[in-house]
């Protein structure tokens, strides 16, 4: 392995987390017209963490590369990542195609090979499809260690990482040598605002567009979405007048 850390951060452009998504007319996906898109919040945290790791380990980190797989508009989220301190970036322009996690992982493997990355920091899930699989599949394809749902990351001088994860009633700490995949949870850090001077400088940083056809991969989707429905609205509760009535209602519903 190389004597320096080369970080790769995959980021996805998704429907803004603060908006209420609507099912499209065809009932096979979410309406994307006239909707605001932003960086997947977990990926934002991944970018922040990569930059933080470099800051805390000045001599260890050689480069940070961000990659997005998406439409050409995903350049926006890459620019933001560059402004935050990422050095170089690439966009795998798949247009409006929604790739499945396996296809995404295959592409990321290619990018890892090209970049010679030995640390991949990525979101634990994208909030649009909530699949939560790409990190794990990529670890499988690469045969690397994985530390998922990180709430704290420490990189040691001997190229090992200690990663904490919140579990029921406590914290689980795992240690692994690089190369390694870390997926981020919300409490890992709070992304900062990007200042304008940094945004302006980011315009000059490299952003390479990659044609997925040139990667020589089978990216065919294997799943078919049959139909997408809103969850049924919950029935409103009722008010009871007395304890007796409460008990009899609960009995009626076989709750007691």
Q: Which residues in this chain contact other proteins in the complex, by CB under 8 A?
A: 14-21, 34, 36, 38-39, 41, 44, 55, 80, 125, 127-128, 130, 185-187, 190, 192-197, 199-200
CB of 43 to other proteins, least distance (A): 11
User: Where do we find the tokens 């980011």?
Assistant: 202
CB of 23 to other proteins, least distance (A): 10
Q: Smaller CB distance to other proteins: residue 130 or 224?
A: 130
Q: Smaller CB distance to other proteins: residue 70 or 179?
A: 70
Q: Are 165 and 147 in contact, with CB atoms under 8 Å apart?
A: yes
CB of 17 to other proteins, least distance (A): 5
Host H or E run for residue 186: none
3-state secondary structure of 160: strand
Q: Smaller CB distance to other proteins: residue 37 or 159?
A: 37
Q: Smaller CB distance to other proteins: residue 114 or 129?
A: 129
CB of 165 to other proteins, least distance (A): 12
Q: How many CB atoms within 10 Å of residue 96?
A: 8
């Amino acid at each position: 392995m190389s004597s320096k850390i080369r970080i790769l951060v995959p980021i996805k452009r998704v429907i803004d987390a603060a908006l209420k998504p609507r099912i499209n007319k065809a009932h096979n996906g979410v309406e994307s017209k006239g909707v605001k898109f932003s960086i997947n919040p977990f990926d934002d945290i991944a970018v922040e963490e990569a930059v933080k790791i470099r800051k805390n380990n000045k001599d260890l980190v050689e480069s940070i590369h961000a990659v997005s797989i998406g439409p050409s508009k995903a350049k926006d989220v890459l620019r933001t990542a560059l402004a935050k301190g990422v050095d170089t970036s690439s966009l795998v322009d798949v247009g409006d195609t929604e790739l499945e996690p396996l296809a995404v992982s295959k592409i990321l493997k290619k990018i890892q090979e090209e970049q010679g990355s030995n640390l991949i920091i990525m979101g634990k899930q994208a909030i649009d499809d909530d699949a939560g699989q790409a990190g794990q599949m990529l670890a499988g394809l690469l045969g690397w260690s994985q530390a998922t749902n990180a709430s704290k990351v420490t990189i040691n001088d001997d190229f090992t990482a200690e990663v904490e994860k919140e579990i029921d009633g406590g914290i689980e700490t795992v240690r692994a040598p690089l190369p390694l995949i870390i997926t981020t949870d919300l409490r890992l850090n709070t992304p900062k605002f990007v200042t304008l001077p940094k945004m302006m400088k980011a315009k000059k940083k490299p952003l390479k567009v990659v044609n997925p056809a040139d990667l020589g991969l089978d990216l065919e989707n294997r799943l078919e979405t049959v139909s997408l429905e809103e969850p049924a609205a919950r029935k409103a509760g009722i008010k009871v007048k007395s304890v007796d009535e409460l008990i009899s209602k609960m009995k009626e519903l076989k709750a007691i």
